[in-house]
């Protein structure tokens, strides 16, 4: 992982009172997963668990993975406030996505948002795609190259990408691309100021 985004960076990021990822699920997850029937889900790079908790509350059985123990601690604390029916549906896993390999063709939904890979981004996306069960969905959301807000905070080469770049590694004989978009949305930055965020969104379905 680039030095600015190593394990120590994320542990520090999640150690204090600042909420690094927020307690609200990502709007792109809400847009793309609301119509899916609950099953098994992998939340790769779960942070404080907002996406995992949203899925679990809707009946999904979620494996939520993050490199930072502090992020997972905060996620568990939040899950506990929602009751056993939600928290009991989530398995929290401390692991570095750089080399962590999920079970192949196991999950009905594999979702990752704004991942900051150590190695090649394409290699990570291939592992995540391999984890999708036949008939399942892959959802990749990242910082689009046009997103000046995130670009101001990092020049790491693997952080920004287009949906088309993410889709390029999918075998067209095995996958149907449902959406490959550049989307803008309003968000609230540090200090409460409004800003426009530009996302790359790939949703693809693995053929049965």
Query: Which has more pLDDT, 188 or 178?
Result: 178
- CA distance linking residue 131 with residue 7, whole number of Å: 24
8: confidence class by pLDDT, cuts 50, 70, 90: confident
Class of domain 3-17+26-206: alpha beta
Task: Write down the pLDDT at residue 133.
Answer: 98
Compute the C-alpha angle 167/68/143, nearest 5°: 30
- Specify burial of residue 145 (Cβ count, 10 A radius: 0-12, 13-18, 19+): middle
What token pair was written down for 179?
């959406």
- CA distance linking residue 77 with residue 112, whole number of Å: 21
pLDDT digits (tens, 9 = 90+) for 21-78: 557 899 999 999 999 999 999 999 999 999 999 999 999 999 999 999 999 999 999 9
- CA distance linking residue 30 with residue 42, whole number of Å: 15
101, pLDDT greater than 50: yes
CB crowding 7-34: b at 16 or more within 10 Å, else e: eebbeebbeeeeebbeeebbebbebbbe
User: In the chain, where are the structural domains located?
Assistant: 3-17+26-206
Give the predicted TM-score (pTM) of the model: 0.89
């Amino acid at each position: 992982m680039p030095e600015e985004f190593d394990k120590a960076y994320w542990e520090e990021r999640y150690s204090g009172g600042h909420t690094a990822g927020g307690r609200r699920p990502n709007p792109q997850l809400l847009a793309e997963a609301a119509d899916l029937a609950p099953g098994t889900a992998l939340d790769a790079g779960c942070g404080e668990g907002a996406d995992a908790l949203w899925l679990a509350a809707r009946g999904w059985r979620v494996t939520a993975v993050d490199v930072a123990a502090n992020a997972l601690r905060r996620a568990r604390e939040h899950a506990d406030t929602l009751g056993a029916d939600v928290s009991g549906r989530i398995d929290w896993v401390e692991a570095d996505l750089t080399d962590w390999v999920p079970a192949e063709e196991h999950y009905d939904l594999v979702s990752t948002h704004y991942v900051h890979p150590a190695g090649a981004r394409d290699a990570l996306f291939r592992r995540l795609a391999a984890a999708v069960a036949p008939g399942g969905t892959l959802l990749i959301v990242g910082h689009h190259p046009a997103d000046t807000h995130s670009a101001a905070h990092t020049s790491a080469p693997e952080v920004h990408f287009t949906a088309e770049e993410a889709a390029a590694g999918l075998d067209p004989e095995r996958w149907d691309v449902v959406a490959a978009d550049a989307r803008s949305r309003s968000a609230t930055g540090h200090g409460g100021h409004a800003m426009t965020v530009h996302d790359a969104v790939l949703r693809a379905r693995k053929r049965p």
